[in-house]
Amino acid sequence: MRTFLSGIILAAGAAQAEAMPVQPALGSERIGLLPADKFSMAEGRCDHCAHQPALWYFQDDLVALPKPGAGDTPGLVWLGSPQLVPQARYDGTSLQTADGSTLKLRLTPKIATNRSYFDASSEAFFRQREVRVRGEWDEAGQQFVARTIWPRDYVINAGKLPLQPLSGSDNLQGFVRQAEGGARADFAVRKVWQRPGAPEADLAGKPVLAIVLSGAQGDDDEAYGGHFAIATGRLGPQGEWSDWMVNNFYSLDSYSEKGIVASALPMDNYLMDLNSGQQYYRPSYMLVAVLNDARTAQAYQSNVNQVFREFYAHHFSYKHAAANCTGISVDILRKLGWQWPQQGPTNRLKAVGAFGYMAAKDLSIASGRKAFSYFTEEQTRLHPAVAFDALGHDLLAMLGGQPGRQLGGFEQQLQSDVAAVMLVRIPQLPSSRAFGSAPAYSIDEFMARAPADRSKWQVVPVEPRPFPEELMDEQARRNLRTSAWPVAALLFAIAAIGTAWSWRRRQRLRADMHHPERLRA
């Protein structure tokens, strides 16, 4: 495989790094919990796709691959850019760096299908602050091509914040819903818990396990539910967190209109990439557990690394209800031993009606079973906002000594390792996109926001991206053959429920016949 920093790009990058503050993306950086020097940059060419199926999804992009002997690392990190400018002022056409250098600047092109992009309002936002920029030095044009722009004043000064515990109606859901989801609000950090008796020490350098919730998009009627991910990393010297690693699950079987690919990736790319960054089309929120020991975060990251390998190999498939970004992420926590209280399905009886209605309306059993699965799935696996609320509430209950159950080994470890808990609100970046809002917490809330006439929904059609069968191993081929949902079992369940309902109705009518006053009532 050819490494990306070769030939003229390597020479140009090295020369500019000496002359100007342009640094290699894997220089003195971290990627989550790991030093970046455990990785090497490579083009996602498909020379070795049969051995590493993940590469097939990044054939025209840049990734970081673990070096031999690097240990327990992600098999692949979506890096996107070979270089970065760690500190500069943005003035619209250039970057003014800390040492007085001026770098001519242009932006990476907008993806044709992307409905949001950097505009005059974005420029006004970034002109007010220092930035950190990922991109690539263009030797021919003597300019830096920016792909990700991160506001450097977005820091988590954990040790310097006053303690403001949650109480009563001032709860996690209230934090998320405040100011219509906070899309237009200021960046904010709130310390809601600190280990009793611990000194007000600086928490810089400590490991973190962060639950990341993104809100509803403002002009996409299929995206009111938000998005969910879990990140690991360390707080920087001044509370920086742009280098945390986010584990982002997303459908592999279609092309994202924003260019998103399911992967582990740095936080600045996840939130602020000019095309795929979450903050260009909705607000986000984080619950950050700052840890005294990295073992809890490492345990999650080790397990999610393996899940990604199986996901890329198509040993299981993304499903919008049964295995979405939320379900895949929280299943790893439950496997580790975090047994937060579940909330059960939305409504099994409604599920039967939804199946019949959608199957008949769309003349599709697949459409019916999709509707059925939404109503029957465990809500803390289905809804990003419900999972965020449930995990946060349970963590704070554990830390407060009132978990309501006997804690297992992983839960005891989590309880003993947490030094502080932060809530972070990240506003939407001003751009050409409509402002979003807080995510929906239920199917009913989701449907109340969308137009009653589904033909009037704003949606973004996406093209399918079938994975080549020649790259599949036997387990993936078996998964492909058996992925058809057992419709007969569903129809049997519907028939059984319908029979039970009819029997119960007949019993009530017979009882009413013996009590005429009920009929008059």
Residue 200 confidence class, pLDDT cut points 50, 70, 90: low
Res 361: pLDDT? 74
Residue 307 has pLDDT above 60, yes or no: yes
Rounded-to-10 torsion of CA 270, 109, 128, 101: 100
Which residue, among 273, 332, 268, 267, has the nearest Cα to 299 in the 3D structure?
Answer: 332
Q: Is 325 helix (H, G, I), strand (E, B) or coil?
A: helix
Q: Which residue has the higher pLDDT, 6 or 183?
A: 183
- pLDDT single digits (tens) 155-177: 998 777 899 999 999 999 999 99
Q: How far apart are CA 112 and CA 315, in angstroms?
A: 32
Q: What local confidence, expressed as pLDDT, does residue 370 receive?
A: 85
- Which pLDDT score, from 0 to 100, does residue 60 have? 87
SS3 at position 39: strand
Question: pTM of the entire structure?
Answer: 0.89
pLDDT classification of 356: cutoffs 50, 70, 90: confident
Distance between CA atoms of 513 and 508, rounded to whole angstroms?
A: 9
Tens digits of residue pLDDT in 444-488: 999 999 998 888 888 888 999 999 999 999 999 988 876 544 544
378 falls in which pLDDT band (50, 70, 90)? very high
Q: What is the C-alpha end-to-end distance of the chain, expressed in Å?
A: 80
- Separation between Cα atoms, residue 383 and residue 390, nearest integer Å: 11
* Rounded mean pLDDT, 362-366: 79
Mean pLDDT, range 217-240, rounded to an integer: 95
pLDDT at 414 over 90: yes
Quickly state the pLDDT bin for 512 (edges 50, 70, 90).
low
Number of CB atoms found within 10 A of residue 154's CB: 21
* pLDDT band at residue 8 using 50, 70 and 90 as cut-offs: very low
Among 114-118, 197-201, 478-482, name the one with the lowest average pLDDT: 197-201
The rounded distance, in Å, linking the Cα atoms of 209 and 508 is 53
Give the CA diameter of the chain.
Answer: 95
Pick 83 or 482 by higher pLDDT: 83
pLDDT of 273: 98
Segment 379-408 mean pLDDT: 97
Q: How does pLDDT run across 425-441, given as a tens digit for each residue?
A: 999 999 999 999 999 99
Region 367-373: what's the mean pLDDT? 86
Given this model, what pLDDT does residue 158 score? 76
Per-residue confidence (pLDDT) for residue 508, from 0 to 100: 62
Query: And the tokens for 89?
Result: 């002022």
Residue 516 has pLDDT above 60, yes or no: no
pLDDT of residue 496: 47
Instruction: Tell me how far apart the alpha carbons of residues 508 and 505 are, in angstroms, rounded to a whole number.
Output: 5
Q: Which residue has the higher pLDDT, 415 or 492?
A: 415
Dist CA 228 CA 284 (whole Å): 10
Question: Does the pLDDT value for residue 254 go beyond 90?
Answer: yes
Which among 418, 403, 413 is positioned nearest to 194, based on CA atoms? 418
The three-class DSSP label of residue 300 is helix
What is the pLDDT averaged over residues 51-71? 92
pLDDT of residue 21: 83
The DSSP call for residue 38 is G
Mean pLDDT of the chain: 88
Q: 293 is written with which tokens?
A: 């020991």
Reference 288, options 388, 437, 410, 162; nearest CA is 388
314: number of Cβ within 10 Å: 21
How much of the chain exceeds pLDDT 70, in percent?
88
Three-state DSSP class for 218?
A: coil
Res 515: pLDDT = 55
pLDDT at 153 over 70: yes
Q: Name the band, by pLDDT with cuts 50, 70 and 90, for residue 502.
A: low
Of 75-79, 155-159, 370-374, 490-494, which range is least confident?
490-494
pLDDT of residue 20: 52
List residues bridging with 89 in a β-sheet: 96, 130
